[in-house]
Every structure is written in structure tokens, then in C-alpha cells.
């Protein structure tokens, strides 16, 4: 009797748990899971249909459902849609840790019992892929997210069929988002302009509307219409193309200017530390490029230490790179530079030898191969202003960061005791020493500060290019040109010179090529120095001596 009661309790408990799980699953599954029974016949037909017969079935699925059918279409578009041979149920294939699994397309619930023998792939071709892309975009037209709706409209501009136009005409009057409504109006205007049966005045009005757009699909349509049989349509299309070309050229100028400012920000970070050491100590530091390289490798090592926190690693890399390069700069100054003070040629040769030693040291530790530093997710991608102009986020952040470092350095030199001593030594070393300034300490701190800023430049460069032993050599000559062109020891001159050379280089490159552009810039600086030997902003007073 006791055993029977225990068994009944277990059975009752088991049944209760099963009932709870069923109820939980009923309420937790997406709403489509409850309504998907209406699509089961269509999904079964899709599983058995040939590729040539799939489009009508998919069209029925699209019209009979809403946004919840998107996982089915996306899985089929990616070539991962299968069906179970015994039940004709569609499932999606996915890989995890090298193993293949299958899951329900709509709920995402995995089915671990299925194997490759139990399923068969539903194949697709290019025609079907084109239909699926347009179908996905049409379904997204009713999405609650405005950005999704806008992207869907722009995706459909290249293929505006009757079904798509009908959907847009139905949705256009009730659309509340301005960007989405503008995109819909653009699509409807493209359709009107291409309809030869409509009145010429209506088509010309639509073409005038298209003249305000920079979309590639719009330009392609206007190019086609410029060969229309009607002279009025040809004239209106050519006028619209001229208007678009003028706007595109203006934005192309802005794009070139942005890349020039981006290069200028890199040159500013690379040369600002050199301007300090060159201006205060009169040292031609040929190892300055290796300070940049050390900063870049420090970023690489930081990401190796914290691989799961790439988005935050750069905030650790910036002070770490400053300390590593700064301490190396202080070490070089204490061991080598201070013994060669007043002998610029020997200092140049010594620092050149140090640069070779540091390059070989890095090759020994990290190998000669380039290393890639991962870009944080918040620095990835671009800011798309319009179809012909997009600004990459990493370059925008580096530009802002370079200006921030410049302002911080100006504050340090203007508002701190170290800055006061640096300015005193740069203007008159003997007088500053006579007034009690520890010039040896100022030299070490100045060299360390300049080297540390070079290390920060290496952090920025690691987000733009691969990290290698010769990274700094690509910027050392340009850094010296910036310092000489702007005026030795003048921070404002360094800022103006860096951005001037960066913008000039980027505007010359499209017509002359990268190598010839660098030669032209070098020749210009040589000729400029002949007229103004002290640069754009020469030092005044005792500092000029």
C-alpha cells in the first residue's frame, strides 16, 4: 500500500511538471508558433517543390504572414534551410563548436536528435535569392523600426515591380517618419518617371524630384531616361544628372578634406612630441619613430592580456603606451643623449643606432611579421551622411583624440611648473640653469613626455594599419617635415603644418599618385624653407636664438 501511494505521488508530480512545461511553452513561444499551423501546407509544398516552382509558394507564404516569417526567408537565403524527411517540417542548420545541429526556424529551439540522414536540403539559385531579398525588404516595410523600414525601401529601389509599388502606394499616406516617407516618395517618383504611358508633364515633375537624390539607382534610371525618345524627357534627365553631379562633387571635396584631416591628425600625434624635444633640447631624435612603434605594440600586448574586453582595451592601452614609450625615452636620454649634448651629428647617429636596436628587439620578441590589432566595436563602421559621403568612425575618433592631446599638452606647458621650466630652458638654457632650474631633470622629463606622446600616436596608428617593426619609419620623415615647416618648438605651428600637409597630400594623391604627391610636398617644403628658414611660426625673442 505504501509503495502504491509513492508511485501515485510520483506519477502525479510528473504529470503536473509536464503540464506546467506545456503551459509555459504555450505562453513563451512567439505568437507565430501558435499561428504557424496555417502555413504548414505551404511549408510542406515548399519542402517538396522544385526550384522553378518555389517562387509562387514563397509568394503565398509572404502574403499569408507578417514579419515573423523573416527567419524562414533569411535561412533559405543563406542556404541553411532543410526539411525533415519523415514529417516535411522545415528546420534551419547551424554550427556550434565544429558540430552541426538543426533548430526550428520560427522558435529557434534546437532539435538534438536530428542527424544529416534525417533531413534534406532545400536548394536555392540566384533567381530565388533575388526574389528572397526583395521579399524580405517588402516584409520589412511594415516593421515597427523606422530605420528598418527606410533600409527596406532603399533596398527595393533597384527593382520596383508592380507588387512593390502597390505596397508603397498603400503605406505612403500613413507613414509618419520623415526619412521613410522621403524614401517612399523617391521610389514612387522613380516609378512615375519610368512609365512611358503617363503624361510627359507628370514624368518631368517626377524627374525634377529625383534631381535632389544621390542614390545610385536614381542616377542609373536618369542615365537610361537621358536616351528616351521624348526630347523633353531627355532634357529634364540631363539637367537632373548635372545637378546630381554638382552635389556629388561637393561631397567628394568634403570626403577628400576629411581624409586630409585624418592624415593630419596622425601627423600631429606623431610630430608633436618631436617638436617638444627638438625645440627644447635641439636633439634630432631618429628613434622617435620607434617610440611610435612601441606604443602600437603595447596596444597589441594589452589586447592579448584582455581578449574578452576589446571594447575597453584601448582605454588601458593609451596610458600603458604613454608609460612604456615615455620610460624608454627617459632611459635613452639618461644613458645616451645627455652625454652628447651640444653635438647634434653624434646625437643623430646615436639615435639612429638606437632605432635599429629597438627594431631588432621587437623582431626578436614578436617576430618580423605584422600583427593586427582589433578595433573596438564602438570605433568600427562609418557614419553615413548620404549615399556618396560616409565618414569612418575610427578616423573621426582619432581626429578628436589628436586635438584633445594637443590641448592637454598646451595646458601642461602653459599652466604647470614643468611647462614653465621647459619654456625657460628652451628660451635660454644657461640663464635657466643660473636661476636654479635643474636642466638635466627638465631634459629627461621633456624627452620622456615627447616619447610618451609618440607612444599614444602608436595607439592611434594601430587602429588604422597593421603593427610591425617598421611602423615608425613610415612617419619619422613626415614628422620632421611637419616640425620644420611649422616652426621648431612651436606647438601652434606644428598643428597648422600637420593639417596643411595632410590635406595637401590627400588632394594631390588622386591626380599624381601617392609617391609623386610626397615628392611634391617635399619640394614645396624645401622651397618654403629657403624663403622662411624658421618656418610658419618662428620663435621670437631669446627663444629665436
Strand blocks (E) in 346-456? 382-386, 389-392
* Residue 107 pLDDT level (bands cut at 50, 70, 90): confident
**What's the CA gap between 329 and 446, in Å, rounded?**
9
Question: What is each CA distance from 418 to 256, 341, 410, 415, 434, in whole angstroms?
Answer: 39, 21, 12, 9, 17
Q: What is the mean pLDDT of residues 240-259?
A: 92
Instruction: Identify the helix (H) or strand (E) that includes residue 81.
Output: strand 81-84
Contact yes or no for 508/521 (Cβ under 8 A): yes
Last-in-domain residue among 128, 153, 179: 128
- In-domain check, residue 176: no
pLDDT tens digits, one per residue of 273-305:
888 887 667 778 888 889 999 999 999 999 999
Q: How many domains does the chain have?
A: 2
Nearest residue to 178 via CA among 208, 210, 153: 153
SS (H, E, C) 492-529: HHHHHHHHHHHHHHHHHHHHHCHHHHHHHHHHHHHHHH
**Predicted confidence band of residue 158 (pLDDT cuts 50, 70, 90):** confident
Q: Is the pLDDT of residue 503 over 90?
A: yes
Asked whether residue 262 falls in the same domain as residue 119, the answer is: no
How confident is the model at residue 62, as a pLDDT?
78
67: how many CB neighbours lie within 10 A of its CB?
15
CA distance 71 to 60: 16
Contact 92, 80 (CB under 8 A): yes
β-pair partners for 92: 81, 103
Residue 321 maps to a domain: yes
Q: What is the rounded distance in angstroms from the CA atom of residue 265 to the CA atom of residue 364?
A: 31
pLDDT of amino acid 279:
67
Residue with cell 608609460: 323
The predicted model scores a pTM of 0.74
CB 482 within 8 A of CB 497: yes
Give the span between the Cα atoms of 489 and 423, in whole angstroms: 10
Percentage of residues in the chain having pLDDT higher than 70: 91
What is d(CA 332, CA 281) in angstroms, rounded to the nearest whole number? 14
Do 386 and 179 touch, CB atoms closer than 8 A?
no
Query: Which of 128, 151, 168 is at the close of a domain?
Result: 128
The verdict on residue 178 lying in a domain is no
Contact assessment for residue 271 and residue 482, using Cβ atoms and an 8 Å cutoff: yes
Percent of the chain with pLDDT over 90: 26
124 and 255, same domain (yes or no)? no
Residue 48 domain-assigned (yes or no): yes
All residues at 6 or more sequence positions from 324 whose CB lies less than 8 Å from its CB, including other chains: 294, 295, 298, 455
| Same domain, residue pair 489 and 347 | yes
The number of angstroms, rounded, from the C-alpha of 59 to the middle of its chain's C-alpha atoms is 37
Q: How many C-beta atoms surround the C-beta of residue 542 within 10 A? A: 10
From 128, 162, 178, the end of a domain falls on 128
Domain around 87:
30-128
Question: Could you give the CA distance from residue 168 to residue 175 in angstroms, rounded to a whole number?
Answer: 10
Contacts of 105 (CB under 8 A, 6+ apart): 71, 72, 75, 81, 90, 91, 92
d(CA 123, CA 117): 17
| CB 498, CB 268: distance < 8 Å | yes
Strand 389-392, strand 119-121: pairing: unpaired
> What is the model's pLDDT at position 286?
87
* Domain-embedded: residue 195: no
Residue 243 falls inside a structural domain: no
What is the dihedral angle through the alpha carbons of 497, 501, 507, 508, rounded to the nearest 10 degrees?
A: 140
Residue 14 confidence (pLDDT): 41
Residue 109 is placed in which grid cell?
Answer: 529551439
- Long-range Cβ contact pairs of 303-310 (< 8 A, separation 24 or more): 303/373, 303/374, 310/374, 310/376, 310/377
Classify residue 207: in a domain, yes or no: no
**How far, in Å, CA of 111 to CA of 51, rounded?**
26
* 86-95, 273-282, 364-373, range with the lowest pLDDT: 273-282
What pLDDT score was predicted for residue 53? 83
Residue 385 in any domain: the answer is yes
Half-sphere exposure of 325 (CA within 13 A, CB side): 37
Q: Enumerate residues 6+ apart whose C-beta is below 8 A from 216.
A: 387
Residues whose CB is less than 8 angstroms from the CB of residue 68 and which lie 6 or more positions away in sequence, other chains included: 30, 31, 32, 106
Span 376-400, average pLDDT: 89
CA distance 264 to 259: 8
Count the neighbouring beta carbons within 10 Å of the beta carbon of residue 102.
21
pLDDT by residue (tens digit) across 219-232? 988 998 988 888 99
Question: Residue 416 above 80 pLDDT?
Answer: yes
- What is residue 244's predicted lDDT score, i.e. its pLDDT? 92
Tell me how far apart the alpha carbons of residues 49 and 192 are, in angstroms, rounded to a whole number: 37
- Classified as helix, coil or strand, 468 is coil
CA distance 96 to 28: 24
Q: Do residues 121 and 256 share a domain?
A: no
Amino acid at each position: 500500500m505504501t509503495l502504491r501511494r509513492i508511485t501515485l505521488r510520483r506519477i502525479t508530480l510528473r504529470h503536473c511538471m509536464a503540464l506546467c512545461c506545456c503551459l509555459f511553452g504555450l505562453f513563451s513561444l512567439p505568437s507565430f508558433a501558435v499561428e504557424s499551423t496555417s502555413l504548414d501546407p505551404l511549408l510542406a509544398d515548399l519542402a517538396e517543390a522544385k526550384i522553378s516552382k518555389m517562387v509562387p509558394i514563397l509568394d503565398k507564404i509572404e502574403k499569408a504572414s507578417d514579419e515573423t516569417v523573416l527567419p524562414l526567408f533569411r535561412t533559405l537565403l543563406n542556404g541553411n534551410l532543410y526539411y525533415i524527411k519523415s514529417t516535411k517540417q522545415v528546420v534551419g542548420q547551424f554550427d556550434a563548436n565544429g558540430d552541426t545541429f538543426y533548430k526550428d526556424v520560427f522558435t529557434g529551439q534546437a532539435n538534438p536528435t536530428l542527424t544529416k540522414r534525417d533531413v534534406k536540403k532545400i536548394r536555392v539559385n540566384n533567381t530565388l535569392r533575388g526574389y528572397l531579398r526583395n521579399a524580405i525588404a517588402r516584409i520589412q516595410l511594415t516593421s515597427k523600426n523606422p530605420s528598418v523600414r527606410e533600409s527596406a525601401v532603399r533596398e527595393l529601389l533597384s527593382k520596383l515591380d508592380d507588387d512593390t509599388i502597390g505596397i508603397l502606394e498603400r503605406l505612403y499616406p500613413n507613414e509618419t517618419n520623415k526619412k521613410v516617407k522621403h524614401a517612399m516618395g523617391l521610389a514612387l517618383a522613380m516609378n512615375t518617371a519610368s512609365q512611358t504611358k503617363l503624361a510627359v508633364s507628370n514624368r518631368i515633375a517626377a524627374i525634377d524630384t529625383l534631381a535632389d537624390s544621390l542614390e545610385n539607382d536614381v542616377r542609373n534610371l536618369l542615365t537610361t531616361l537621358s536616351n528616351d525618345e521624348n526630347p523633353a524627357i531627355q532634357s529634364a534627365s540631363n539637367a537632373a544628372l548635372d545637378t546630381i553631379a554638382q552635389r556629388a562633387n561637393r561631397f567628394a571635396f568634403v570626403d577628400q578634406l576629411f581624409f586630409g584631416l585624418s592624415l593630419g591628425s596622425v601627423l600631429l600625434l606623431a610630430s608633436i612630441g618631436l617638436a617638444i624635444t627638438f625645440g627644447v633640447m635641439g636633439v634630432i631624435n631618429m628613434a622617435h619613430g620607434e617610440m611610435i612603434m612601441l606604443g602600437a605594440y603595447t596596444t597589441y600586448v594589452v589586447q592579448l592580456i584582455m581578449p574578452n574586453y576589446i571594447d575597453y582595451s584601448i582605454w588601458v592601452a593609451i596610458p600603458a603606451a604613454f608609460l612604456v614609450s615615455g620610460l624608454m625615452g627617459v632611459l635613452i636620454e639618461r644613458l645616451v643623449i645627455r652625454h652628447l649634448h651640444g653635438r647634434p651629428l653624434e646625437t643623430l647617429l646615436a639615435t639612429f643606432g638606437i632605432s635599429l636596436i629597438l627594431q631588432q628587439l621587437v623582431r626578436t620578441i614578436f617576430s618580423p611579421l605584422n600583427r593586427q590589432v582589433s578595433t573596438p566595436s564602438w570605433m568600427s563602421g562609418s557614419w553615413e551622411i548620404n549615399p556618396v559621403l560616409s565618414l569612418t568612425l575610427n578616423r573621426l575618433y582619432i581626429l578628436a583624440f589628436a586635438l584633445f592631446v594637443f590641448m592637454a599638452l598646451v595646458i601642461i606647458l602653459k599652466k604647470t611648473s614643468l611647462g614653465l621650466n621647459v619654456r625657460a630652458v628652451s628660451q635660454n638654457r644657461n640663464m635657466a640653469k643660473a636661476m636654479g632650474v635643474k636642466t638635466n631633470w627638465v631634459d629627461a622629463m621633456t624627452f620622456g613626455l615627447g616619447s610618451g606622446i609618440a607612444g599614444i600616436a602608436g595607439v592611434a596608428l594601430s587602429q588604422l594599419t597593421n603593427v610591425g617593426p617598421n611602423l615608425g619609419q613610415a612617419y619619422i620623415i613626415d614628422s620632421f617635415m611637419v616640425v620644420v615647416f611649422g616652426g621648431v618648438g612651436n606647438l601652434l605651428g606644428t598643428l597648422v603644418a600637420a593639417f596643411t600637409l595632410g590635406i595637401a597630400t590627400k588632394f594631390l594623391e588622386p591626380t599624381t599618385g601617392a609617391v609623386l604627391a610626397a615628392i611634391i610636398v617635399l619640394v614645396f617644403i624645401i622651397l618654403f624653407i629657403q624663403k622662411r628658414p624658421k618656418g610658419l611660426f618662428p620663435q621670437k625673442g631669446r627663444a629665436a636664438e
